[in-house]
Amino acid sequence: MLMLDRAPTTVGVPGDGVPPCRYCAPGRETAPAGDEADPAWLSHLYLCRGLSTYAIGEATGLDRQRVTRVLRKAGVPLRPRGTGRLRPLRRDDPPGLRQLLTSLYQEGRLGSPQIAAITGMPERTIRDRLRRSGIAVRTRGGWNREDRQTVPAEVLDDLYTRLGLTAEEVGRRLGTSRNTVLRSAHALGVPVRAGGAVPVQGPEEIELVQALYADPLITAVLDARDVPRVPPGAPLWQRCPEPVPLTAPLVKDLYWGCGAGLAHIELLTGQPAMTVRGFMRRAGIPLRHPGGRTPFLRRWRASRQAVKPSRTGPAPADRRGYHERCRMRLRQEQALRNRRRADGL
């Protein structure tokens, strides 16, 4: 890379118009024999060559602190610490950089470190050029939302809804986990059947996103915290391209106040469940004991069970007529039996 030339001087800062030193003449760019700590030579390296005290120490074999003392005794004004050497000349970006970044980052799904290794540009520069080009930068870390495996909606409709396979069986056929199948179904708005080793009375299917938005406690928290409502129908990173920032009051209200789980908070905020867990650990928010249904799901099932008609009997409003019909049916059956007995049948 091209470096800005410093004005050759013996004393003073570069560019102050002082005549060049004797070592700047052609053929004199060699260290003096036998004395690496010559003040004139060290001044030449510092002022004319633009080397730092660290670089001078490595080149001459002297201690950096000794180099600093010799320069100060020679009257050389030292630059403030942290200033460093002059920056290289800024060059324009190579032609076609935007198209290359789009191809590598969006189509090839490469990360900024991999693109930096291919292009020879710093990773920080790559991310800066992505933002300047208007390319949406993916979230960083091991829990990248965009790199999650997602089961397409048509596959879920065929295997899970139409054929009635369980989430574990669908995952076994697709080579993925049961959690991936359920997470994709919830995000895409596919009704999920209630599972469990022991059958539990109550609703058999749930559309989780709609159930979350319909819960009065969660609705109150979302309104109070100005959290937008995003309908299902797409993966998490498409539903929430800009996740809701996590705060301790918001997470406490959703987790402990509303009884939502980590996966529920993920669907409401767009933040991955593991990110929510890590935030809770750093914020000192305790977790509930593992196992069982969350308080939100128990509340949802109880509310659906209360409004759902009973399968074993009529509704309370029809109970009186139901009893009358039962008594009439019993009288008819008793009369039929008496008639058959009298006929000797």
Query: What tens digit of pLDDT does each residue of 209-232 get?
Result: 889 999 999 999 999 999 999 888
Global pTM exceeds 0.85 = no
Quick one: pLDDT at residue 204? 61
Quick one: pLDDT at residue 82? 56
Pick out the chain residues at pLDDT < 50: 1-18, 89, 196-202, 314, 317
Coil, helix or strand for 247? coil
Quick one: pLDDT at residue 190? 84
Quick one: pLDDT at residue 296? 92
Domain boundaries, the chain: 1-90, 97-132, 153-206, 208-303, 313-345
Instruction: Decide: 292 and 196 in contact? Cβ < 8 Å.
Output: no
| Closest of 54, 57, 59, 61 to residue 81, by C-alpha | 54
- Which residues have C-beta within 8 Å of that of residue 260, sequence separation ≥ 6? 212, 218, 254, 268, 294, 296
Quick one: pLDDT at residue 201? 47
Kind plus residue range of the DSSP H or E element containing 193: strand 192-193
Instruction: Decide: 102 and 133 in contact? Cβ < 8 Å.
Output: yes
Quick one: pLDDT at residue 19? 54
Quick one: pLDDT at residue 202? 47
Quick one: pLDDT at residue 134? 80
